[in-house]
Structure 1
Amino acid sequence: MGLRRTFVAALILAVVVSLCAAPAGAEVQHPRQQWLRDSTAGLFLHWGMFTAPRHLDCAAWERDVTEGGWSPDYWVDEARKLGASYIVLATFHSRLGYARPWPSEVPGSCATKRDFLGELVNAGKAKDVRVILYMTDDPQWHNEQGVETLDSAAYSAYKGRQVDLTTRAGFGMYSYDLFSEVMAKYQDLAGFWIDNDNEYWEQNHLYEQIREKRPSWLLSNNNEDTPIMDTVSNEQKTGMTPAYDYPQAAWTPMPRLVEADYKLPTTGDWWYDGGSHPVDFRLSTGRYVTNAGSSMKSLMAETPMVNGRFPPEQEEFNDFMATWVPPIRASLRGTEGGGYLYGGLQPGFWNDGAHGVVTVERGGAKIQYVHVVTRPSTDLVRLRDNGYRVSAVSDLRTGERMRFSQSGGYLTILGIAKWDTYDTVFKVETAGRQHFYDQSALRATASSSRDGHPAGALVDGSHEVYWDSAAKLPVSVTLDLGRVRKAAYLAVSQREWSPTYARETFGRPEDSARIKDYRVYVSDDGRHWGRPVRTGAMRSARGTQAVDLGERRARYIKLEVLNTWAGPQAPRFFQELQIDEIEVAHDYPVSSGAAVPLEAEHQRRSGAARVEPCPACSGGAKVAGLGGGPRNAIAYRDVTVAAAGDYRLQIDHTAAAESSLSIGVNGAAPIQVRVPGDNADVPLSTALPVPLRAGANTITLASDAPRGPGVDRLAVAPLPPASYVPKTTMTVEPGGLRWAGPGQQSLKVSAKLRLDADDALDQVRLAPVAPAGWTVEGDPVTAGTMRLGQTLEGTWTLTSPPGQDVTSADIPVTAAFQVLGRPNTVTRQVRVRPRPADRVFMREAEDSRNGLGSAGITSCTPCSGGQKVRNLGGDSDASVLFEDVVVPEARQYTLFIDFTVNGDRSYFVTVNGGTPVEVKVSGVGNNTPYTTSVPVTLRAGANTIKIHNDTAAAPDLDRISIG
């Protein structure tokens, strides 16, 4: 990843300004990009001297490549099987010997006599597959294999001056010459894929020269949004739920061209390492489809062997894709991601465990494709329609016409009997989008706006110009409809500039900068607002989010955002809120068709139970009048399942205030269920486990409350697997390994549990578990129920055994709860270790007490505590600030710094705000910890120590100690 943060930040600011002035301008959208926008995928090939079995001699490698039967047509044909429109050739790679697969007049590293690059470019041109050349800026691996791969003497003689290729500046000059040579030799190349920037390139305007000399070529940059580049490539993102939904880790909003760069062999190196590594078909096809559903290009990395052929597992996957993709090609190629800038139904998590994406035909989204990547546990798919009136639905693979229903803001596809193993695709024909007020007729104001991003951007009709809250939360946005009008729901399109949940990527903390808790008010005059008409939490999810209001008439609508999902551990996203558009709809599209099963209005009613209109409900109606006991009830007499067992029963209900339902199953004693209150015209859901018998069952709903809730519908599905746990986020302080001094120790422990999913948690209990001999002061914290976005937190004091020094201890902090009647737990550890006797202070770099700025935490198995801080240096914010460094007396001490580094780099150490002292270090390999030391003068009591480098990249930091 590039390390010139100040330079990059300036460029990002420049492109943001250009976007606000001209959304389709400059490098964000350009005609040279069109072929890539029309594509679905690319093939990334790491291949070079160190491809197993590694070669240490360039000529010997070239001989074995040729004698092994290398053919450019093989690579091109395999790319076409994958539906790939381009190949990225990564041979001039720092870990593969800096090999150049073309005859070169510039000495300095391996160059072949045979023109492999030229042959590949010509073979690709003949079959409409473009070739992009990978270029690295990184000289640090020049002797990784024990042999020097960069020839500084030869290059110095060529340049007529002394140049050290193992330095960044020298390597920058050398690779700069290679860019120029390639541009002169290969006019049919499609561009460069650049792995990080180099200061020499920037200072000598390399990218501007490429634009001038080869204006049709594309430029892509790895993991960094450099505005002059055409493409932002996201390298190997993992940790999503579901694992295949790669776009959840993306942070670049459309229409920026974005690649998802990932390995096809599930394990092993990026290059062929001699092992046989399988391809996970489920993971890989899911990534392929979900990337298309977010207008991202799947840049799939395969591992060619020395002769160019792929291992059998990869060839098998390519052959599979050659037959699997063509029947659904229309839904993948030449389409855009649905639910975003280009319109379309809502992607993401749907009903009964279903998950998928939507793609739309360009030019209005009248034809859309619903990709069900994870099928539901039932025979229907239900997703938000985003205002599109649906006229027909068919199975794209088979052409079968599907039954469907549309009401209350949802499209339900019914009676699905045939599921593809990896992606069931439904072609959805629409009559366009309906019932939204013209954005130009609305006016927007906000309680806070950042300069250049005013509230007017919310209603300007453009997703490329956005409102920014100026880091102020809570914040409110008010929409003026011009006069009192009907309002059914808001469609909120937030800026897609952050991942969907907290994660670490390449040592940088990331989190979702999306709305969490919100309130909506309406008013006729803009002064008197009354009680909120909606209060809740919005999902941390990509795509347009709907906020149903019920039947409201008002001139003014105010959305109050109380907080976002981002936590303080990710300062780039914390309390930052950006919204592209907020639209107001006055009605829901309704399409005639089959009714959704188990709607309340079609069931038998007794007593005061009655049908009432409910536009936001399934079928446009609900049953009200429950309350006062079993005499006022709804009886579902034909709830049919194939086999006896426990099932998930979901009840969609409405209530203005908290209430309850009484659920009776086949005459058994009723189950009492708490129903939350919000809006009497907007359904919410509650799920519980119920025992059902094979065949028809009777489920009766009543309420013992004086005024019971309304009932919209039931949904019955198999229980999820026993291993299922809804996604939660649990943070524990102190974080990281904690070093303790001699004697008895007391430790303050805090924990917070947050529910990030729709399924509720019941009987929640949060508390630490004391190790043997330790004591806990403070009671467990509990909650009867937790719903989406809600938190539970507590603080306790733990004390080690008296009369002895503290010993090593791992203190679990455990959240215990039930999900659908099943017990589950989530646990985080607080780790305590005794400080070595020769140290008066010791603290991990990743300790939660430290200030990390824009640096981030990453795993490091050999490091103390298993973690370290990386991305240090390059600007003043990329540092680690150790506060409360306590020593017993004022004098000079030795500061020990544990670190990892590959090459030569420097820290600067600043004590108590004094003069920075440079500490130069060297090392080989970023997984090998080293220790260095520097004298420091400290005062008695608390001190601050800052580890930084304001101008250049610094080593990764493991921990510090004072001796």
Structure 2
Amino acid sequence: MQRRIRTILLSVLAVVLAMITPTANAEVEHPRQQWLRASTAGLFLHWGMFTAPKHLDCAEWERDVTGGGWSPDYWVDEARELGASYIVLATFHSRLGYAKPWPSAIPGSCSTKRDLLGELVRAGKAKDVEVILYMTDDPQWHSEQGKQMLDSAAYSAHKGQQVDLTTRRGFGMYSYDLFFEVMRNYSDLAGFWIDNDNEYWEQNKLYEQVRQLRPSWLLSNNNEDTPIMDTVSNEQKTGMTPSYDYPQAAWTPMPRLVEADYKLPTTGDWWYDGKDHPVDFRLSTGRYITNAGSSMKSLMAETPMVNGKFPPSQERYNDFMAGWVPPIRDSLHGTEGGGYMYGGMQPGFWNDGAHGVITVKPGAKTQYIHAVTRPSTNMLRLRDNGYWVTGVTNARTGERLKFNQSGGYLTILDIRDWDAYDTVFKVDTPVQSGYYKDVSATATSTRQGFPAGNLTDGDYETYWDADDKLPVSVTLDLKQREHATHLAVNQREWSPTYARVSFGRPEDSARIKDYKVSISDDGVRWTQVKAGAMPSARGTRFIDIGQQNTRYVKLDVLNTWGGPQAPRHFGELQIDEIKVGHGYPLSPWARTPLEAENAGLNGGARPQICWACSGSAQVAGLGGGARNSVTYKNVTAATAGDYKLELTATSAQATSLAVTVNGGAPIDVPLPADRADVPANTSIPVPLNAGANTIVLHSNDVRGPGVDRIAIATLPPASYTPTTTMTVTPHGVQWIGPDRQAIKVTAKLRLDVDDPITGVELKPTAPAGWTVQGSPATVQTLRLGQVLTGEWTLTAPAQVQAVSAPVTASLRILGRGKQVTTDVDVKPRPADRVFMREAEDSANEFGSTGLTSCGQCSGGEKVRNIGGSPDALVRFDDVTVRTTGQYKLHIDFTVNGPRSFFVSVNGGQPTEVKVDGAGNNTPYATSLPVALNAGANSITFANDQAAAPDLDRISLSVE
């Protein structure tokens, strides 16, 4: 759909409508968007005939709306309590009865005599709240409640031609007319919020005409980035860590206007179902803040009852927001997300479990740090991105706080007044420095129109594209030999930060994983100075390279985080800007606790300058045993118990650090080879007494590591399991028959976070009667981005039953044992079938299609988004039969309305398979004869021109 829309718009806009509408690219920023760009949030109202108690008669519903005391001012006032600048009214909604809340001259579905829409628009205008009208493209739920809600006969009489409103084209014609009725009658409306597209609209250039007739109105499109639209709305993203960090699942880079569209009630439907569902204050406020910290608008869905009032839980949340937002209003309104194209410090995970975002006022010398999850200590430490800080104030209390800067970090100290949901610090940052301005860039690969020069032009709207080629090198020329300390990398924010499936579309991170940095004076002879893995995270990423004097700095990107299951993001790389730093702000006025150079130094232990370290110093000379040590004599803990000890150390070669707590036995902590002038963190669990404790560090190696600092924090909860990605193939139910008794199983475990894990073992468990060939895969330590791989053969007994073979990764994190498990499901193939495979099986080729859950389908999954473009296909390779001949191909699918597969065998002429059905969660079956060769064959399901049904599985029987 997205590719088709782009093709239509680009050709039509360039040739036919060049005189009446701007080009597609120009829609990214336009003066009509200014009010929305300045806002923080909107209120999404799903409210219609099927709001509980549902009505099947339009007049009865309107009577109860009016009789219940519906008031537009109530909605507007509740929106203002939420800090919302606009309301989206979703009443002409496919699941709510297709009701038009205005007197309509166009018959076809429910229309009120009272002008509810007009009243709401006028009430909003009086209180500076804009109103946007939701419009659906979807007729499939026309009789969901057992009564036909679309009146084709009435609309046909109105049009003077036969029109079936239950078809997409007929409904497209009807809703197209409604757009124009609304545009004629409601000049003060702010625009349309459109739930996907209808081909009739596209063919008749609806959006271009909206632009011509109502140039000040906004257009928003759900779950697609359609160029002519002002806003991309991302619907109900979940599954991220922390759960409130909605932007992790977004895929649209600034300055595109982006909405985060989510429910405030944490259970139930999008509309009122008769229950008072709870609102999770922590989740909802966290989303509100993190969206603002990514320049995304929070479109919060509430569920008004028939009379318009909100259930008590939602009213309580709105009342809470009315008091909670105003003290930090300046940090949210008229601000942009920090750490991206508008400048600012680094958002994301900070020290001791803290997490948050930055907001900035463009052009101002002020930033706001939002600590949404507070650290377990009373200080906050984050990358300062070269901003010199002159003052830090608690935005809610006005208290001025102590702070220091060194090694590229701002540390705010002695924080006592933490808000339950968002502690906001106003930070004065008069200048950003420490980066070279006159740097040129070249690269080994460049997509035409996206040159390497875009990396250093200072313009975040231009970017470099690696043209689907990895590994790739970027060389930065400082023009002469200069001092270099670090790189600041802003990657294109066009993908989520982790693998996921959204509306059947596979997505993954297109960010840098493994990299190397080298330096050279002549651009020919290179010396590697850094290697590692970059976290898959939003915002500016930093690579510290120590103290270098060089002319050229080369970044080699070896791979990215995305996997092949998401071809749109796999092997792709786009970068907005790369800066070369030559130093860090230094403000040592307040001392950071537990710095090594301020502890007791014994034997040969001595302070040493380390510009990338906290306090710009570390302690060296710890090798040779316990006589050379650092002693911390007053490490305090509130209560006795186990704590997390974070060791920040430098190590030019693989070494270890011995840790002694209160005179106990030394704990040996291995440290990997890295740099002697760039610190890295390693954490272990340690027992502490209530009150003061003594911690001693030394090394038994001849040349021990350097120690920068230590930190003490509470252990994460016992439920904490570090984020990993475990990929097990085969995926999908495996159908075992007499000709297939063995299954080759491969598993890969990747660590996706900074916390290293130890004692890692990866192995399958054989079901009863099965055998496993192959040994467990093991590794002592797994660090960020590293992968452990294992391979085994599972062999079934003669009599196969339905079983699951679990593949388990066992690991330890901070002394705790954890497991991650994925099952390989096996079932006996029916006796009348000679072949059977799930559509979602990892043996298939998916093109640009994606997997989605389907409770009624075989294996609980299916493949959707087949058709509409040549690459939107599913190809079954290695479809093996014993003899050449005619077979019957059985196809299990789901579909809503008439659609077609085009089925091709071994690359031959496609055969159209027309099917029909009602409901995308109801499996259907059909079949067709096919000619197959003995041995391996391929069978492809596609539809180059239009959307095809969703595919559940295929099987073969002998004709």
The alignment's TM-score, normalised by the length of structure 2, stands at 0.98
CA-CA distance at 1:743 after TM superposition: 6.8
Return the alpha-carbon distance in structure 2 between the equivalents of residues 24 and 230 of structure 1.
10
Instruction: Establish whether residue 657 from structure 1 lines up as the match of residue 653 from structure 2.
Output: yes
In the other structure, the counterpart of 1:796 is: 792
In the other structure, the counterpart of 2:297 is: 297
Return the alpha-carbon distance in structure 2 between the equivalents of residues 15 and 630 of structure 1.
75
Return the alpha-carbon distance in structure 1 between the equivalents of residues 41 and 649 of structure 2.
44
Return the alpha-carbon distance in structure 1 between the equivalents of residues 10 and 718 of structure 2.
46
Asked whether the 8 Å contact 1:222–1:232 carries over to 2, the reply is yes
1:448 pairs with one of 445, 450, 461: 445
User: What whole-Å deviation, never above 9, does each CA across 1:787-831 have from its counterpart, x for those lacking one?
Assistant: 111110010111123xx2222120111111110111111111111
- Structure 1 residues 15, 457: CA separation in 2 closer, same or farther (over 3 Å shift)? farther
1:708 pairs with one of 695, 704, 708: 704
2:491 pairs with one of 465, 489, 494: 494
State the SS of the aligned residue for 1:314: helix
Instruction: Establish whether residue 809 from structure 1 lines up as the match of residue 803 from structure 2.
Output: yes
Return the alpha-carbon distance in structure 2 between the equivalents of residues 747 and 89 of structure 1.
53
Matches within 5 A, 1:278-293: 278-293=278-293
Amino acid at match of 1:377: S
Instruction: Establish whether residue 782 from structure 1 lines up as the match of residue 778 from structure 2.
Output: yes
State the SS of the aligned residue for 1:936: strand
- Structure 1 residues 271, 251: CA separation in 2 closer, same or farther (over 3 Å shift)? same
Amino acid at match of 2:310: F
Return the alpha-carbon distance in structure 1 between the equivalents of residues 686 and 162 of structure 2.
79
Comparing 214-223 with 59-68, greater Cα deviation is found at 59-68
2:601 pairs with one of 605, 608, 615: 605
User: What whole-Å deviation, never above 9, does each CA across 1:647-667 have from its counterpart, x for those lacking one?
Assistant: 111111111111111111111
In the other structure, the counterpart of 2:839 is: 845
1:626 pairs with one of 622, 636, 639: 622
In the other structure, the counterpart of 2:507 is: 510
Amino acid at match of 2:433: Q
CA-CA distance at 1:13 after TM superposition: 11
CA-CA distance at 1:628 after TM superposition: 1.2
In the other structure, the counterpart of 1:672 is: 668
In the other structure, the counterpart of 2:218 is: 218
In the other structure, the counterpart of 1:586 is: 582
CA-CA distance at 1:97 after TM superposition: 1.2
State the SS of the aligned residue for 1:117: helix
In the other structure, the counterpart of 1:954 is: 948
Asked whether the 8 Å contact 1:756–1:788 carries over to 2, the reply is yes
State the SS of the aligned residue for 1:103: coil
CA-CA distance at 1:14 after TM superposition: 11
CA-CA distance at 1:33 after TM superposition: 0.3
In the other structure, the counterpart of 2:899 is: 905
CA-CA distance at 1:24 after TM superposition: 12
State the SS of the aligned residue for 2:138: coil
User: What whole-Å deviation, never above 9, does each CA across 1:234-281 have from its counterpart, x for those lacking one?
Assistant: 011111111100000000000000000001111111111222211111
CA-CA distance at 1:399 after TM superposition: 0.6
RMSD (Å) for aligned C-alpha atoms: 1.6
Return the alpha-carbon distance in structure 2 between the equivalents of residues 382 and 83 of structure 1.
30
Asked whether the 8 Å contact 1:4–1:874 carries over to 2, the reply is no
In the other structure, the counterpart of 2:366 is: 367
Return the alpha-carbon distance in structure 2 between the equivalents of residues 735 and 468 of structure 1.
32
In the other structure, the counterpart of 2:199 is: 199
Return the alpha-carbon distance in structure 1 between the equivalents of residues 885 and 131 of structure 2.
63
In the other structure, the counterpart of 2:551 is: 555
Matches within 5 A, 1:183-198: 183-198=183-198
Return the alpha-carbon distance in structure 2 between the equivalents of residues 8 and 641 of structure 1.
60
Return the alpha-carbon distance in structure 2 between the equivalents of residues 379 and 626 of structure 1.
29
Comparing 105-114 with 258-267, greater Cα deviation is found at 105-114
Amino acid at match of 1:253: P
CA-CA distance at 1:6 after TM superposition: 2.4
State the SS of the aligned residue for 1:169: helix
Asked whether the 8 Å contact 2:130–2:190 carries over to 1, the reply is yes
User: What whole-Å deviation, never above 9, does each CA across 1:543-595 have from its counterpart, x for those lacking one?
Assistant: 00011111111000000000000000100000000000000110101123211
Matches within 5 A, 1:505-584: 505-530=502-527, 532-584=528-580
Matches within 5 A, 1:622-771: 622-742=618-738, 745-771=741-767
Amino acid at match of 1:234: N
Matches within 5 A, 1:368-517: 368-438=367-437, 441-517=438-514
Return the alpha-carbon distance in structure 2 between the equivalents of residues 927 and 169 of structure 1.
22
Instruction: Establish whether residue 894 from structure 1 lines up as the match of residue 888 from structure 2.
Output: yes
Between the aligned residues of both structures, percent identity stands at 70
User: What whole-Å deviation, never above 9, does each CA across 1:618-655 have from its counterpart, x for those lacking one?
Assistant: 00001111111112111111111121111111111111
Asked whether the 8 Å contact 1:883–1:942 carries over to 2, the reply is yes
Amino acid at match of 2:504: G
Return the alpha-carbon distance in structure 1 between the equivalents of residues 8 and 69 of structure 2.
48
Return the alpha-carbon distance in structure 2 between the equivalents of residues 444 and 744 of structure 1.
55
In the other structure, the counterpart of 1:617 is: 613
Return the alpha-carbon distance in structure 1 between the equivalents of residues 923 and 729 of structure 2.
26
User: What whole-Å deviation, never above 9, does each CA across 1:338-392 have from its counterpart, x for those lacking one?
Assistant: 100101111001111111111111214x211111111111111111111111111
Return the alpha-carbon distance in structure 2 between the equivalents of residues 744 and 534 of structure 1.
49
CA-CA distance at 1:4 after TM superposition: 5.2
Return the alpha-carbon distance in structure 2 between the equivalents of residues 37 and 484 of structure 1.
43
Return the alpha-carbon distance in structure 2 between the equivalents of residues 866 and 345 of structure 1.
44
User: Matched residue pairs, number?
Assistant: 951
- Structure 1 residues 639, 205: CA separation in 2 closer, same or farther (over 3 Å shift)? same
User: What whole-Å deviation, never above 9, does each CA across 1:685-724 have from its counterpart, x for those lacking one?
Assistant: 1111111111111111111111111110001111111111
- Structure 1 residues 798, 814: CA separation in 2 closer, same or farther (over 3 Å shift)? same
Return the alpha-carbon distance in structure 2 between the equivalents of residues 268 and 845 of structure 1.
31
1:863 pairs with one of 857, 864, 868: 857
State the SS of the aligned residue for 2:60: helix
Matches within 5 A, 1:237-252: 237-252=237-252
Asked whether the 8 Å contact 2:745–2:793 carries over to 1, the reply is yes
Amino acid at match of 2:116: F
Asked whether the 8 Å contact 1:90–1:135 carries over to 2, the reply is yes
Amino acid at match of 1:672: D
In the other structure, the counterpart of 1:926 is: 920
CA-CA distance at 1:431 after TM superposition: 2.1
Return the alpha-carbon distance in structure 2 between the equivalents of residues 83 and 411 of structure 1.
30
State the SS of the aligned residue for 1:903: coil
CA-CA distance at 1:283 after TM superposition: 0.6
Asked whether the 8 Å contact 1:661–1:701 carries over to 2, the reply is yes
Matches within 5 A, 1:58-457: 58-364=58-364, 366-438=365-437, 441-457=438-454
Comparing 162-171 with 815-824, greater Cα deviation is found at 162-171
Return the alpha-carbon distance in structure 2 between the equivalents of residues 592 and 760 of structure 1.
31
Asked whether the 8 Å contact 2:2–2:225 carries over to 1, the reply is no
Asked whether the 8 Å contact 2:2–2:224 carries over to 1, the reply is no
Runs of 4+ in 1 over 2 A off after TM superposition: 3-16, 22-25
Return the alpha-carbon distance in structure 2 between the equivalents of residues 916 and 73 of structure 1.
59
State the SS of the aligned residue for 1:26: helix
State the SS of the aligned residue for 1:119: helix
Gaps of at least 5 residues in structure 1 are: none
Amino acid at match of 1:746: A
CA-CA distance at 1:139 after TM superposition: 1.3
Asked whether the 8 Å contact 1:742–1:834 carries over to 2, the reply is no
State the SS of the aligned residue for 2:27: coil
